[in-house]
Structures are given as structure tokens and as C-alpha cells.
Amino acid sequence: MNIQELIEKLEEEIEEVEKGTLTPSTNIRNIDWWSSMHALVIIALVDIEYNVQVSGKDLKEIQTIQDLYDLIVKKS
């Protein structure tokens, strides 16, 4: 797994995102389309693709895609 692969999966999964627009430093909370549903989409994606269980509490502490990647690596 690398962070680019995670970004591609997120771009595929979240329909509001145009391909090639997310970067490791993208702050997911500052994006105008962000909603609570996207948190669920991310939890599901991480669980299914990486077999890592992220709790709601974990996700609340995450700001950027790099943070999400680091969390997945830590929990893998």
C-alpha cells in the first residue's frame, strides 16, 4: 500500500471528488462537499480495502489524507 493508491481509492469512492484533485495534504474537513456520510464511506473503504477498523473517534482526530494514511499504517 502507498498513499497514492489510497488517494485513488478515495477519489473513486467519493463521487463529489474529481480525479487528481486530492493530495496527501488535503484537509478533508475543509472541503466544501464534506459531510458526515463521507466519514462512513471512509470507514467502510478502509475496512474493506485494508482490513483496518477505524472508529468514529479515530476519524474525528484526522485532518488530512496523510493523517488517514498514517492511521491505517499504524493499525495494519
Partner 1 sequence: MGCEIRYITYQLASKEVSNEDLANTFKEFSAEDIYKKVGVKKRFHTSEDIIGSDLAFQAANQFFIETKFPKEQIEFILFCTEGLDYIAPMTACLLQDRLNLNKNIGALDLPSGCAGFTNALGMAKAIVESGQSSNVLLLFGDTPGLVSHPQDFALRSLFSDAGAAVLIEKSHENHIGNFVYGVDGSGAKHLFVDKSCLRNPIDKEWLELNNDVGGMPRGQMKMNGLEVFSFSIKEVPILVNEILEKNKLKMKDINLFVFHQASKIILKSIQRKLQIPTDKMAYYLENNGNTVSVSIPLCLKEAQREGRIKKGDKVLIAGFGIGFSWSGTILYF
Please give the DSSP secondary-structure letter assigned to residue 30: G
State how far the Cα of 67 lies from the Cα of 69, in Å rounded to an integer.
Answer: 5
Q: Which is nearer to partner 1, 19 or 57 (CB)?
A: 57
Q: How many CA atoms lie within 13 A of 44 on its CB side?
A: 8
> Cβ–Cβ contacts within 10 Å for residue 21, how many?
10
Q: Which is nearer to partner 1, 24 or 67 (CB)?
A: 67
CB of 30 to partner 1, least distance (A): 19
In the range 20-59, which residues lie near partner 1 by CB under 8 A?
Answer: 35-37, 39-41, 43-44, 47-48, 53-57, 59
Please give the DSSP secondary-structure letter assigned to residue 26: -
Residues that bind partner 1 (rule: CB under 8 A) add up to a total of: 17
Interacting residue ranges for partner 1, rule: CB under 8 A:
35-37, 39-41, 43-44, 47-48, 53-57, 59-60
